[in-house]
């Protein structure tokens, strides 16, 4: 349960420390006194976003602090462990938030956490119900959640959702393969086909590109190459005083020198090797020069080939390798587009198989819901009788529909508030007082199996009065047997039912407004009930009436 709530410098609140007890805790006070500020502070502790406008005028920061004592800390401990924090010590959970003009600090058991963690904790700690939340009961999605929660159908719903996600994923792929504009699709195929054919017909090769560039350079300079080659041949073998003649003369002299100097043989052999090398160089130079095809036809081919490489690189990639990679990518895309019909048929067959499983689980879920619906209808009808609808009847209608994430059913809560009236959808009921009571009856039914320890009702009794108010109060007491209830109320009949009564008031001092919270005792409580009965000017009659109301609740109604 929520043990304490501390608020400092939040809006009208200067410094308030509120203690709560088990059972039904009621909060009363005049309009504008600041009752909802306590609920707002609690919402901040459960992950609601804050901003600096909440800080009390003249202050630099505000803070809220809550202490929970948990009989069953398991759900909270699971979340704490999941985010790397220590489990609660003895079920004690302390949440703090400090808000400044530039920062927002949040801690759980003195460890910093994010708002996401607070929201997760809030989902298992407190069920908040505001003055307008009863309208959510008109939402058919909310109605479906209520039915499933009551029937504890989470396991079947999860199995259904797994198959539904598979089904939708296949549908997305089918949609991606379909096109409302076949002309656009055909143009895309033609565009890719042109690119792929252009690249493939060019037969590009990174090595050939280098060879073509080299040959093109040689032919472009062929005249100079031939002249230089001839100069090499002249210098080595053909010109006057050429190297070859000099080597031959040296060789002849060495032939004579060998007879006089034996080591001259080695020199002779080296000269002979040089002669052979000169001859080989001359042959190579002559062959290379003679092999140059400087014809206009060859030059034109090389020009065209270089242009092909340059054009395709300019269009499809900075290198030949990149052009070839892109070509393969477009080829695969083209293959997918041309094979879309076949692929679509494959996906449709796969989807049909998944749908069989989905439909089977969906029908199982519907059967479970139909079984639960009768019990929920009966349970809520009984609760409605207790809060003034003696002849009222509540019903749950289930209608098959196409697959959705929550199943293959549409749901409609129906309600007939009086005898002889036809059953109508709950969303067609205009009276907010009736809807509020239906919500309370629903909460009463769910509370018996709900594991959330704290329920907060902020003016759930709006637009209700008279004897019905007393019935609502008694119903809240029944719900409080299973949970701690915190209830803001304007009804004295409801306030009298609380086992803990907190009164909120405000005072003005030195031109500033202060909100105060007082825990009422046996002496001050009748005065607050009398104020609620008769306004500011309570009389002996209203005070006596208040005492009678409190004595009746003490006696067990």
Q: Quick one: DSSP state of residue 25?
A: E
User: How much is the pLDDT for 157?
Assistant: 94
Which tokens hold the place of 315? 């269009």
- For the question of whether the overall pTM of this predicted structure is more than 0.85, the answer is no
Q: How many CA atoms lie within 13 A of 441 on its CB side?
A: 29
- For 214-242, what is the mean pLDDT? 64
- For 495-518, what is the mean pLDDT? 86
pLDDT over threshold 90, residue 479: no
User: How much is the pLDDT for 184?
Assistant: 77
The phi, psi pair for 477, rounded to 5°, reads -65, -40
User: How much is the pLDDT for 555?
Assistant: 47
- For 288-294, what is the mean pLDDT? 58
User: How much is the pLDDT for 224?
Assistant: 58
DSSP codes, 279-303:
HHHHHHHHHHHHH----HHHHHHHH
pLDDT over threshold 60, residue 538: yes
Selection from 469, 518, 193, 169 nearest residue 336 by Cα = 193
pLDDT over threshold 70, residue 297: yes
**CB neighbour list of residue 273: distance below 8 Å, 6 or more residues apart:** none
Query: Does residue 91 contact residue 52 with C-beta atoms inside 8 Å?
Result: no
Tell which wins on pLDDT, 311 or 131. 311
Range in 5-9, 386-390, 419-423, 552-556 with the lowest mean pLDDT: 552-556
User: How much is the pLDDT for 227?
Assistant: 58
Which tokens hold the place of 344? 């679509």
Model pLDDT for residues 54-76, shown as the tens digit of each residue: 888 888 899 999 999 998 889 99
CATH number of 1-129+484-520: 3.40.50.300
User: How much is the pLDDT for 47?
Assistant: 87
- CA 393/CA 42 separation, integer angstroms: 35
pLDDT over threshold 70, residue 388: yes
- The residues with which 514 forms a beta bridge, in sequence order, are 507
pLDDT band for position 239 (cuts 50, 70, 90): low
Is residue 2 packed enough to be buried (19+ CB in 10 Å), middle (13-18) or exposed (0-12)?
A: buried
Which tokens hold the place of 115? 């708002």
Residue holding tokens 């080939």?
305
pLDDT band for position 289 (cuts 50, 70, 90): low
Q: Residue ranges of the domains in the chain?
A: 1-129+484-520, 185-338
User: How much is the pLDDT for 399?
Assistant: 94
- CA 56/CA 192 separation, integer angstroms: 66
Selection from 503, 389, 456 nearest residue 28 by Cα = 503
User: How much is the pLDDT for 358?
Assistant: 95
- For 151-156, what is the mean pLDDT? 92
Model pLDDT for residues 334-369, shown as the tens digit of each residue: 888 888 778 888 899 999 999 999 999 999 999 999
- CA 477/CA 499 separation, integer angstroms: 9
* SS3 state at 12: coil
Query: Does residue 271 contact residue 247 with C-beta atoms inside 8 Å?
Result: yes
Number of Cβ within 10 Å of residue 53's Cβ equals: 8
Selection from 34, 7, 156 nearest residue 508 by Cα = 34
- CA 45/CA 119 separation, integer angstroms: 9
Is residue 54 packed enough to be buried (19+ CB in 10 Å), middle (13-18) or exposed (0-12)?
A: middle
Query: Does residue 327 contact residue 196 with C-beta atoms inside 8 Å?
Result: yes
- CA 15/CA 10 separation, integer angstroms: 8
The phi, psi pair for 479, rounded to 5°, reads -65, -35
Selection from 71, 24, 20 nearest residue 41 by Cα = 20
User: How much is the pLDDT for 427?
Assistant: 79
pLDDT over threshold 80, residue 42: yes
- For 415-440, what is the mean pLDDT? 77
- For 20-43, what is the mean pLDDT? 86
Tell which wins on pLDDT, 443 or 225. 443
User: How much is the pLDDT for 556?
Assistant: 46
pLDDT band for position 14 (cuts 50, 70, 90): confident
């Amino acid at each position: 349960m929520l043990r304490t709530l501390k608020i400092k410098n939040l809006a009208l609140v200067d410094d308030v420390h509120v203690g709560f007890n088990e059972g039904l805790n009621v909060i009363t006070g005049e309009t504008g006194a600041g009752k909802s500020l306590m609920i707002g502070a609690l919402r901040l502790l459960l992950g609601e976003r804050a901003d600096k406008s909440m800080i009390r005028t003249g202050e630099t920061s505000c803070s809220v602090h809550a202490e929970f004592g948990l009989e069953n800390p398991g759900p909270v401990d699971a979340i704490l462990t999941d985010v790397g924090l220590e489990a609660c010590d003895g079920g004690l959970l302390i949440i703090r938030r400090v808000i400044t003009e530039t920062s927002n600090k949040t801690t759980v058991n003195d460890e910093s956490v994010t708002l996401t963690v607070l929201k997760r904790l809030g989902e298992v700690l407190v069920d908040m119900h505001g003055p307008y939340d009863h309208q959510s009961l008109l939402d058919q999605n909310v109605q479906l959640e209520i039915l499933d929660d009551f029937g504890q159908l989470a396991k079947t719903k999860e199995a259904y959702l797994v198959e539904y996600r598979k089904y939708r994923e296949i549908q997305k792929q089918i949609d991606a393969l379909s096109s409302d504009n076949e002309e656009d699709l055909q143009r895309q195929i033609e565009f890719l086909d042109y690119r792929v054919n252009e690249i493939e017909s060019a037969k590009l090769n990174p090595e050939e590109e280098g060879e073509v560039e080299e040959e093109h350079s040689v032919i472009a300079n062929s005249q100079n190459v031939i002249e230089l080659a001839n100069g090499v041949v002249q210098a080595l073998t053909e010109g006057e005083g050429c190297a070859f003649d000099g080597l031959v003369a040296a060789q002849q002299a060495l032939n004579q020198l060998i007879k006089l100097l034996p080591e001259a043989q080695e020199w002779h052999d080296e000269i002979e090797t040089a002669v052979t090398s000169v001859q080989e160089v001359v042959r190579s130079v002559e062959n290379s020069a003679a092999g140059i095809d400087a014809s206009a036809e060859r030059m034109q081919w090389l020009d065209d080939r270089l242009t092909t490489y340059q054009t395709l690189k300019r269009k499809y990639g900075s290198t030949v390798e990149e052009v070839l990679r892109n070509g393969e990518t477009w080829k695969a895309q083209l293959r997918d587009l041309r094979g879309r019909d076949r692929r679509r048929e494959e996906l449709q067959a796969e989807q049909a198989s998944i749908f069989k499983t989905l439909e089977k689980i969906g029908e199982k879920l519907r059967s479970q819901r139909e079984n639960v619906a009768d019990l929920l209808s009966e349970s809520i009808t009984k609760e409605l009788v207790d809060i003034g609808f003696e002849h009222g009847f509540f019903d749950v209608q289930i209608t098959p529909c196409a697959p959705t994430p929550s199943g293959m059913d549409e749901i409609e809560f129906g309600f007939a508030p009086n005898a002889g009236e036809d059953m109508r959808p709950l969303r067609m009921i205009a009276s907010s007082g009736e809807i509020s009571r239906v919500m309370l009856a629903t909460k009463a039914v769910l509370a018996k199996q709900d594991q959330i320890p704290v329920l907060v009702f902020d003016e759930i009794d709006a637009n209700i009065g008279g004897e019905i108010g007393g019935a609502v109060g008694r119903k809240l007491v029944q719900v409080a047997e299973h949970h701690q209830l915190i209830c803001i109320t304007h009804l004295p009949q409801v306030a009298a039912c609380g086992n803990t009564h907190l009164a909120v008031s405000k005072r003005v001092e030195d031109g500033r407004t202060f909100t105060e919270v007082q825990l009422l005792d046996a002496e001050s409580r009748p005065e607050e009930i009398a104020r609620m009965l008769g306004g500011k000017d309570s009389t002996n009659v209203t005070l006596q009436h208040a005492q009678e109301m409190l004595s009746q609740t003490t006696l067990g109604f």
